[in-house]
Structure 1
Amino acid sequence: MPSIMVGEVKPGTKIIKDVVTPLGGVLFTKGKIILPRDIEILQAFLIQQIEIEGTLGDSTAPDTAKATKQTTLVKSGAVINESQLVKSNSPLHDEYEKMVALVKKSYASAAAAPLPILELRSQLEALISHLKDYHVLKFAPRVHLEQEYNYHNAVLSALTSYKIAQWCGYPQKDWMQCAFAGLLHDIGNVKVDAALLQKPTPLTPPEIEEVRRHTTYGYQLLRNVTAINEGVRLAALQHHEKIDGSGYPLHMEGSQIHFYAKIVAVADIFHAMTLVKAYRRAQSPYLVLEQLLTESFGKLDPVIVQTFIQKTTNLYNGTRIRLSDGRHGEIIFTDRSNPTRPMVQVESAIVNLMLERELYIQEIIA
């Protein structure tokens, strides 16, 4: 008898086994046809799965749900995401990989030749056409070569910047330009010594200054590019500026910073910290969200940060996760005033992450 996660139940589904509440009462009896309101009731009672009519082959609960999202580092330097590889026919992943390849090619020639901006736009539009399948906390590249970090960060920042612009209610005309801002914000790195970008040990003060010049290099490279607006160029220049003036390269404050740059700053920090680098492991997305919240006090735009956190953590109850201590569980309740610290069911126990501060969600599995 196929089981299905409640979040995947469709109206019209027939139940083939009584649904019992955590306290032992019968919520729905065998044979009931699920109506839209019934799905809300199931979720309110924290029911995780139900058994439905149909053959195993027809079940909407895929076998891939058994796969975890853990990554394995192989000798070639590639990080292979096993659960994402299973989704080999995902149009989103296909277009994502085409976008990464195009960004890599564009970066290689950027210092000597004009950017293929129309080709980049066409592929970006193809990628964004699958945006409904992109979840910031859940998506991961199928294969990630550590030395290609900059290209993955560019594409992920483009997708996330587009979504943030939507979520914050900016005009639709700005959405694609925000995606361009995310895609090209680090283009200036092509003029920085690659050895510095990959250096596994702390940079010296002169090396830090050289790496920081990628912001001005980026603006210079984009200055005469058509099909992008000035906000995209300013995002390359200003995405490391801070609201309190402590950023670089010009120590701008508050309203002096273009809103594209404020959006890209959030997307860039999130992906920079959750992607694997040659010299650093990927960090928990939930810990990164908490750090972004801290940074929103004087460093990052607080409205953008709070909107980003609220939207990305708006997951349905039953979402499967892995905790920092290795245990697997399911989110059963999220307090919107503490969205990074939900209640998680681990086997028969309830873990309240608001109280058990030493624990956190390491990754979302499905």
Structure 2
Amino acid sequence: MVPLLENATQEKREVFRLHNYSTSWDYLYHHSVAMSVMGGYLAYKMDYEYGEWIQVGLAGLLSDAGMVKVDQRVIEKDGPLTEREFEQIKLHPARSYRMVENIQALSRPAKLAILQHHERLDGTGYPLRLNHAKIHPYSQLIAVSDMYHAMSSERVYLPKHSPFKVLEEVLKEQFGRYDPTVIQVLVKEMTNYSTGTKVRLSSNQRAEIVFVDHTHHTRPMIRLEEDGEIFHLKEYMHLHIEEILE
């Protein structure tokens, strides 16, 4: 993983396109790698030292190791989980931690990140319902990466969403649950497009960005490729950017 993490720092666009490579049947395996690469990348962009962002990346890779102890029928279920089934899922961070706690190559903060990657700043997470004062910063890097990749990927019983729609959801609905600094870095890195960038819209139309509105990061002004019409996406809430093309 270390060479992959190092390479990811030079391949920003690919980091945020990892969701394109997974399908519902192999999601669980891709998800661990994606959490690793994204978590390490975000830590790198937040000026963590080399050894630290590598540790964050390794923590992301191993965060879901405890899922191996969950009943396979629960993992593969193609519908909403029952409360009892979800209780099984909620045990996986602690199980992951137990599986890695004696690995000397992992730092203590990395192990805490594995244990705490489903904790939320407002105390609504699991397995320990910790609040912001007791949550290690590494864990929030993994948590945000986990949430972003999960929402933008195809899963067994949930459709995938556009990464930009996911960002809007995060900015609108998740306030107070995730570290705002990590969220800001994610938004900045994903929406750091320039004038002339080619995009594909949710309507499947191709367009070019002509103006970036920094008060609405996910909704720039665009020019449609087919007829040259220019409009501001913030005024057309039924449309959103599906992906950046070039």
TM-score normalized by structure 2?
A: 0.92
- TM-aligned CA deviation for residue 138 of structure 1: 5.0
Measured in 2, the distance between the counterparts of 1:143 and 1:314 equals 22
| 1:324 to 2:186 alignment | no
* Aligned-partner SS, 2:222: strand
**Compared CA separation, residues 187 and 336, structure 1 to 2 (3 A):** same
Change (3 A) 1:143 1:352: closer
Matches within 5 A, 1:77-88: none
**Would you say 1:262 and 2:143 are equivalent positions?**
no
Q: Indicate if the aligned counterparts of 2:153 and 2:160 stay in contact, CA closer than 8 A.
A: yes
> Take 2:130 and 2:194, find their aligned partners in 1: how far apart are those partners?
39
Partner of 1:74: none
* Residue 356, structure 1, aligned to residue 245, structure 2: no
1:310 aligns with 2:181: no
In structure 2, C-alpha distance between the alignment counterparts of 1:218 and 1:146, rounded to whole Å: 22
1:287 & 1:322 partners in 2: Cα distance?
A: 13
Supply the distance in 1 between the matched residues of 2:16 and 2:51 (Cα, whole angstroms): 27
Aligned counterparts, 1:188-227, within 5 A: 188-227=66-105
Closer, same or farther: CA 225–295 of 1 in aligned 2, 3 Å: farther
Deviations 1:225-284 (A, max 9, x none): 120012222122111111111111111111210111111000010011112123222210
Contact kept? 1:296, 1:302, Cα under 8 Å: no
CA 155–203 in structure 1, closer or farther in 2 if over 3 Å, else same: same
- Conserved 8 A contact 1:187-1:236: no
Q: Retained in 1: the 8 A contact 2:15–2:38? A: no
How far, CA to CA, are the matches of 2:126 and 2:21 in structure 1? 33
Instruction: With a CA cutoff of 8 Å and minimum separation of 6, indicate the structure with the bigger relative contact order.
Output: 2
Aligned equivalents of 1:141, 1:299: Cα separation in 2: 23
Contact 1:310–1:336 under 8 Å retained in 2: no
2:219 aligns to what?
341
Q: Distance in 1 between matches of 2:20 and 2:182?
A: 29
- CA gap 1:344/1:137 in 2 versus in 1, 3 angstroms: farther
Identity of aligned residues (%): 35
Q: Which moved more, 1:316-325 or 1:179-188?
A: 316-325
Q: 1:340 to 1:186 in 2, by over 3 A?
A: same
Distance 1:225 1:247 in 2: 26
SS in 1 for 2:209: strand
Conserved? CA contact 1:181–1:233, under 8 Å: yes
Distance in 2, Cα, partners of 1:327 & 1:363: 11
Provide, for residues 329-362 of structure 1, a one-character-per-residue CA deviation record: whole Å limited to 9, x for no partner: 1122211221111111103111211111121112
Contact (CA 8 Å) 1:137, 1:285: kept in 2 or not? no
The corresponding residue for 1:125 is 2
List aligned pairs for 1:6-21, cutoff 5 A: none
Residue 317 (structure 1) shift:
2.1
State which drifts further: 269-278 or 317-326.
317-326
Please say if residues 199 and 241 of structure 2, whose CA atoms lie closer than 8 Å, have aligned partners that are also in contact. yes
Higher alpha-carbon Rg:
1
Contact 2:211 2:222 in 1 (8 A): yes
Tell me the distance in 1 between the aligned counterparts of 2:32 and 2:21.
16
Is the Cα contact below 8 Å between 1:155 and 1:183 reproduced in 2?
Answer: yes
Q: Structure 1, unaligned stretches of length 5 or more?
A: 1-123
Residue 180 (structure 1) aligned with residue 46 (structure 2) = no
Residue type of the alignment partner of 2:231: V
TM-score (norm 1): 0.63
User: How many pairs align?
Assistant: 243
Cα 1:310–1:145, aligned 2, differ >3 Å: closer, same or farther? closer
